[in-house]
Structure 1
Amino acid sequence: MPTTLIALFSGLAFGLSLIVAIGAQNVFVLRQGIRREHVVLVIATCAVSDAVLITVGVAGVGGAVSALPWLVPVATIGGAAFLVGYAGLAVRRALRPTALASDTAGERAPWGSVLAGCLAITWLNPHVYLDTVVLLGSIATGYGDERWWFGLGAVVASSVWFAAIGFGARLLAPLFAKPGAWRVVDGGVAIVMLLIAARLLWGLVG
């Protein structure tokens, strides 16, 4: 097999291994997909953001970032604080009947607010940088001149995954026709966000 294809499929497999794990970004895309709310915008935003970050990592910035030891803890603390705040919003949605009713009555949030939330959950999440820029970028350097094929594979994996969970989530829509189901979803979102934040902070002190 040509080395370019080896690098391409390696990037595809590695990209999937990083992104498939349930995280803040995936939870956001899944929730928007279930609501059928600006799904294409959310998928495109996540896919393009990942593509930019992967490109930055493959270009060699990952090594430069890892050389600045103070940057990682600062980004980690900031990201954990954001995730805790997002968890608080999810708890409020779960506890307020009016918020649950809007989910099931077909009312759509403005596309601008959805885009802002999507950008925040992506670009303020330190896990995204650690996975794409630092980790993936560092591994890509091992492929030498073929590292761009490795990066392309990772970009394809990211785009396919976001499209799959975004468009596939609508199959679950009938299950979430009742406010009680959204109470469970938003409660689960809050738990996931808090666990991710706790894991980030534990990594600093552990």
Structure 2
Amino acid sequence: MLTTLSGLGLMFSLIIAVGAQNVYVLRQGMRREHVLPVVLICAVSDAVLVLAGTAGLGYLVKSLPWLIVVARWAGATSLVLYGVLAARRAWKAGGESLVADPAADSATPGSAAGASRPGGTATLTRTPLAPVILATLAFTWLNPNVYLDTVLLIGSIAATHGDERWLFAAGAIVASGIWFFALGFGARHLGRWLRTPRAWRILDTAIAVVLVVMGVSLVLPVFFG
């Protein structure tokens, strides 16, 4: 159970960050436009990548036992570096935030293209499903950070859990699903809190603490056995 929670916590810490994919999911959620396909693509893609990383690196560790030491230190170093970057974002507070299309709040889901409300205010044109799917796939699979986070980082840390690595991977997959569904379907509510730089400064501070603590705890057994 603890291993699953570790995977859950790590994935949350990695995935909750301002990025093109999260911005796109939030935007679609606020527009209430093809939300289910978007969140499913993101969640399933993460699951595939996490499983690939866990299986591949897990097999290598079994074949080459010394890789467990490399995986442990590489994972710890990556976590601490991610934590430092999150702390830097929180400290600088450059104003980056999740800002979806503000006109989406006034849109009517399913409204016809070019339709107007009384008074001359135009509603948003609904985007066809195919371009939305292609954009979601691009934001997901063409982002190098996705492979670093899911395949390499999650995979390497999962490998340090030995036979329980699949429990760690399961926690990471559940976290990804929860995040994307919450971001997509809860966008109308989350957007009020996540669109301000101050909110992300607080969130980045929490993420920095979690990542550094997890990174340090990963190598503690090396010193205290």
Task: Please confirm whether the aligned pair reaches a TM-score higher than 0.5, indicating the same fold.
Answer: yes
Helix, strand or coil at the partner of 2:161: helix
Partner of 1:21: 17
Q: Which residue of 1 aligns with 2:199?
A: none
How many residue pairs match? The answer is 135
Distance 1:140 1:111, change over 3 A: same
TM-score (norm 1): 0.60
Q: Which has the higher helix share?
A: 1
Aligned to 1:141: 159
Residue 198 of structure 1 corresponds to: none
Pairwise mapping of residues 100-111 of structure 1 onto structure 2 (< 5 A)? 105-111=123-129
In the alignment, structure 1 residue 159 sits paired with structure 2 residue 155: no
2:45 aligned partner, one-letter code: S
Alignment partners' CA distance in 1, 2:190 and 2:5 = 31
Measure the CA separation in 2 of the matches of 1:173 and 1:21: 14
Residue type of the partner of 2:44? V
1:56 aligns with 2:74: no
1:8 corresponds to 2:4: yes
Q: Deviations over 1:16-56 (max 9, x none)?
A: 01101111211110011111110011010100000000001
CA RMSD of aligned residues (A): 2.6
Which residues of structure 1 form unaligned runs of 5+?
65-92, 95-100, 175-206
User: What's the counterpart of residue 127 of structure 1?
Assistant: 145
For residue 34 of structure 1, what is the aligned residue in structure 2? Answer: 30
**Which of 28, 34, 42 is the equivalent residue of 1:46?**
42
Residues 31 and 166 of structure 1: CA distance in aligned 2, closer, same or farther (over 3 Å):
same
**Which residue does the alignment assign to 1:87?**
none
TM-aligned CA deviation for residue 7 of structure 1? 1.0
Instruction: Detail structure 1 runs of 4+ shifted over 3 Å in the superposition.
Output: 61-64, 171-174
Specify the structure having the higher radius of gyration (Cα): 2
TM-score (norm 2): 0.55
Percent of aligned pairs sharing the same letter: 57
